[in-house]
Amino acid sequence: MKMISKISKLVLALAFVGSSVFAQSLEDAKKAIDAEQYQKAKGMLKNLTVTQSTKDENFFYLGWVYILQDYTDSARTVFNKGIAVNPKSALNYTGLGVAAFVDKDRATATTNFNQAIALAGKASKPYAYIGKGYLMSPVNDRVSPADADAAIAILNKGKALNAKDVDVLLALGDAYRTQSKNTEALGNYQAALEIDPKLAAAKVATGVIWKFANNFESSETEFQAALAIDPNYGPAYREWAETDVRWALTDPKVASVKVKEATEQYRKYLSLTDLSVESRLRYADFLVYSGDWKTLQTEAAELAKVSTNLKVQRYLLYSSVENKDYPAALAAGNTWLQKADAKRIIPRDYVYQGRAQIASGLDSLGVSSLRTAATLDTTQADVYQEIGKSLYGKKKFLEAAEAYKTYIAKSRKTTLNDYLSEGLSYYKAYTDQFFSTAKPKPVADSTLLIKADTAFSYIQHKAASPLAIVALYQARANDFKEPTDRTLYKGYAKPYYEQYIQLVTAKGVQEGDKSFMAESYAYLGYYYEFKEKDDAKAAENFTKAKEYDPANKAAANYFQRKAQGAKGK
């Protein structure tokens, strides 16, 4: 954020210097507008409306800057001043029409456009800016076909009046581009470059066409050509950044590199332009792409001081979760989800809110938020893993098992650990029922053991080599299938306990393994005592159980029974 602050100060300084020293011509102001240096341009134009107060053009271009910054009321005020200076100012009537069009007042827009054309005579500039106006009210970031057709029609009339007006040619290229008529668009951009080979805007526009054709190398060539013409031409860096993001989304092999490059390109763009709230919001998008969460949280906090745009709260939610600042995340998430238009809320918002809630101990709310994300977008399968983890931590094992089951079924990122989590959840859901002290006591659902064993078996089948911990839980799950009366043992758990002993012995028994080894040998002791009636084997296994864990109750019980039996004889 220090860098952004320094940039901001630099831009403001340049704006003041520009307005007092360099703002001697309208051409300088128009170049600043083209380079998206709007504050600088406004300083120049405000000066010109005072020093050259009889020139209606100065008022039009000042109003145009207000249009570009989405201050239509201020724009109308300036355009009307231009008309007061020259009642026949076609440009300022054009401006009034564009302001109305942007504000979705089509009737007023048409009235003013018609007045502008009636006053334009053979001047092509009003046609150029009416055409640009038709492209300035997109819906979901797309210009409607009707508006694009209207732009093309009026721009072709302007072109007929003056085929060398580069503003007309550039706007016509842009209009064709919105309709994906790239051949026509390129033709107009090339025509503009033939008239003015130093037209950086035409190079950038050509690069944008190549971007949407996924010809990213050609895009970069055009942006580099624009910067060769003007190294400080900010829009080239902006479009280069947007191209890098598209490239990253298209080619996963270069995604990491291109996202980082995009963020750097956008930083350069900001350093060369005005640090408008809109530009900084887009910069925040790049920080999300690149995962620079620390910078994003700082930038979003600064934006919150100067902007009421609720999207800032989304950035604070995401970055605060990633930076483990959960109180800030909860506050931002609550503001965003409660106040934002429902159409603007996306499943990812609920994912982050759910994470913030779970991390803050609000598990039920967090799980609900994650479920909402999954409901809104069925591709959000990964949230089920988070749901399962949260429910498992709260000992809601059956719900956790079902969440893991859903995750495994829907996600492409599953690992054997996820199967282990599923198996353990089903196993513990069964043991909860089995050992329940509730009245009436529930009947433990034996199908849960089958589901647990299925998950464990899958792991052992897919793992490079059998896993001791899985063998242990397979043994435990099968032990529950044994009759309560040990004299009726079937030996369901025997191969698994034997496998566990073999695997642990092979790697070397550690301190943490000893109680489990004792458990395994104790089971085998019971098996040989009651199922096989083999006292020697039983004694051997119970002895090993006692060696590994002198406090093992099964072994102690065995030796106590044997001692009492000997006394009885």
Residue 411: inside a domain: no
**pLDDT at residue 343, as a whole number:** 83
Number of C-beta neighbours around residue 549 at 10 A: 20
- Residue 73 CB burial class (10 angstroms; 0-12, 13-18, ≥19): exposed
Backbone angles phi, psi at 142, to 5 degrees: -130, 135
pLDDT of res. 15: 40
Nearest-angstrom CA–CA distance, 424 and 392: 9
Residue 521 within any structural domain of the chain: yes
* Residue-level pLDDT at 269: 92
- 267 pLDDT above the threshold of 70: yes
- Higher confidence at residue 270 or residue 57? 57
Q: How is residue 103 written in tokens? A: 């504000």
Name which of 130, 135, 133 is nearest 148 in CA terms: 135
Is pLDDT of 22 > 50? no
In this predicted structure, what is the pLDDT of residue 489?
84
Q: What is the mean pLDDT of the chain?
A: 91
Are residues 99 and 72 in contact, defined by beta-carbon separation less than 8 angstroms?
yes
Nearest in space to 325 (alpha carbons), one of 337, 315, 311: 315
User: Could you read off the pLDDT of 488-530 as tens digits, one per residue?
Assistant: 888 999 999 999 999 999 999 999 999 999 999 999 999 999 9
**Crossing angle between the packed helical segments 293-306 and 311-322, to the nearest 10 degrees:** 150
User: pLDDT tens across 407-442, in order?
Assistant: 999 988 899 999 999 999 999 999 999 999 998 888
Number of other residues whose CB lies within 10 A of the CB of residue 215: 14
| Nearest one of 201, 200, 222 to 211, comparing CA atoms | 222
Q: Is residue 546 part of a domain?
A: yes
Note whether 75 and 95 are within 8 A (CB): yes
Distance CA 525, CA 494 (A): 10
pLDDT above 70 for 338:
yes
Instruction: Tell me the C-alpha distance between 223 and 68, whole Å.
Output: 23
When pLDDT is averaged across residues 21-31 and rounded to a whole number, the result is: 77
Q: Which has more pLDDT, 262 or 275?
A: 262
Residue 171 lies in a domain: no
Share of the chain above pLDDT 90, in %: 80
- Total domains present in the chain: 1
In the structure encoding, which two tokens stand for residue 137, read together? Answer: 């009210």
- Rounded CA separation 273/8 (Å): 9
As beta bridge partners, residue 142 has 139
Mean pLDDT of the 176-183 span = 94
Residue 186 falls inside a structural domain:
no
Alpha carbon distance 314, 346 (integer Å): 10
Assign 2 a pLDDT band (cuts: 50, 70, 90): very low
Would residue 532 count as lying in a domain? yes
Tens-digit pLDDT profile for residues 143-175: 999 999 999 999 999 999 999 999 999 999 999
Q: What is the number of helices (H) and of strands (E) in the chain?
A: 30, 0
Give pLDDT tens digits for 99-122: 999 999 999 999 999 999 999 999
234 falls within a domain? no
What whole-number distance in Å separates Cα of residue 166 and Cα of residue 9? 34
- Domain boundaries, position 547: 476-569
Determine contact, residues 304/321, Cβ cutoff 8 Å.
no
β-bridge mates for residue 139, sequence order: 142
Query: What pLDDT does residue 380 have?
Result: 80
Query: pLDDT at position 24, please?
Result: 63
Q: What confidence tens digit (pLDDT) does each residue in 204-247 have?
A: 999 999 999 999 999 999 999 999 999 999 999 999 999 999 99
Q: Is 87 inside any structural domain?
A: no
At 567, the pLDDT band (50, 70, 90 cuts) reads: low
Q: What's the pLDDT score for residue 569?
A: 52
For residue 362 the two structure tokens come to 């609000």
